[in-house]
Structure 1
């Protein structure tokens, strides 16, 4: 039986390192995981005034997340925090109060950056938000990938550095086990 994973990448950049990282993780995962990359760049900003009449595009995002079994958040770090586009998507999918599409779904947070600390601070902020939204998160291993011009993941999501492949495979294996534990499958 297939496990459907909603992937939310917090970068809109065409050649996003975080999109590359998401593709690399997807390539390492067993076939039982089906990854659905959710489009979040076209979402109008969240506005609580619309809670009573949720716009169709917001409803669509919530339905996509509700239809998934698990979550994978892949975030860059902008000004030491989560990119606005990702936070906007989280606000939309978790509102209005009592209709949180994320609740109870097993998740993981990973990220990439050109900086030496990857996206550590953004991930911590994201973890705080997701804990409040009742997303059981994989705690270890933490994945902070530093990108350079020559890798460690190319534009197609191929891992070009053996140590990165080994590390990411360890993450994927733990993530799959975590998802099974939470879903009791």
Structure 2
């Protein structure tokens, strides 16, 4: 069975280390797993129930929902902005949680990882992301974590895919997330 994991990155910056982590996860994914990096979060308008009307949902939000519904699991890459989750990632979660009772998360497994400049690697933001994603309807794998501190210096001269420790951690996260698809692992 092939597993499709949708990767959502909470940083829009072209040189984002979290984006690089997502690229590394896609490259390191084991056979039978596709990690798709969603492009276009910057185009998704802020969630507004007035915009979320059947047959007239903004195109960028509809593409996000379509990609989420076509996935088997979710992998969030969150930096830490002022001690919490970036707005673009929270906005994506809000769009995917709707319509109420029929959101795109639909009990699918999700994990949250990331890197940040600080000494804890963005754990506050990642914890907030886990909370929001769980409330929104995903089955968050609470003990599946990877927080990488010191991103600015650690990845100044190396892509995360070439950092052996990071590559090992990402490979383990993706493999474990793959193993949860279909309810074969407890959250």
Alignment-derived partner of residue 118 in structure 1: 121
Deviation at residue 182 of structure 1 after TM alignment: 4.3
1:100-142 Cα deviation digits (max 9, x unpaired): 1012111110010111110100011111111112211222242
- Looking at structure 2, the residues matched to 127 and 31 of structure 1 have their Cα atoms a distance apart, in angstroms, of 27
User: Which aligned pairs between 1:39-78 and structure 2 lie closer than 5 A?
Assistant: 39=39, 40-52=41-53, 53-78=56-81
Distance 2:157 2:147 in 1: 13
Cα distance, 1:148 vs structure 2: 3.7
CA distance in 2, matches of 1:153, 1:139: 32
* Separation of aligned partners in 1, 2:101 and 2:154: 46
1:1-185 matched pairs, under 5 angstroms: 1-39=1-39, 40-52=41-53, 53-146=56-149, 147-151=151-155, 154-155=158-159, 157-160=160-163, 162-179=164-181, 181-182=183-184
Contact (CA 8 Å) 1:9, 1:18: kept in 2 or not? yes
Match of 1:158, SS?
A: helix
Q: TM-score, normalised by structure 1?
A: 0.87
Cα deviation 1:29-81 (Å, max 9, x = unaligned): 20211111112111111111122242232222111110111111001010111
Q: Which secondary structure does the structure 1 equivalent of 2:111 belong to? A: strand
Distance 1:20 1:172 in 2: 15
Q: What TM-score do you get using the length of structure 2 for normalisation?
A: 0.86
Unpaired segments ≥5 residues, structure 1: none
**Aligned pair count?**
181
Superposed CA RMSD in Å reads: 2.1
Hey, what's the Cα distance between the residues in 1 that align with 2:30 and 2:63?
27
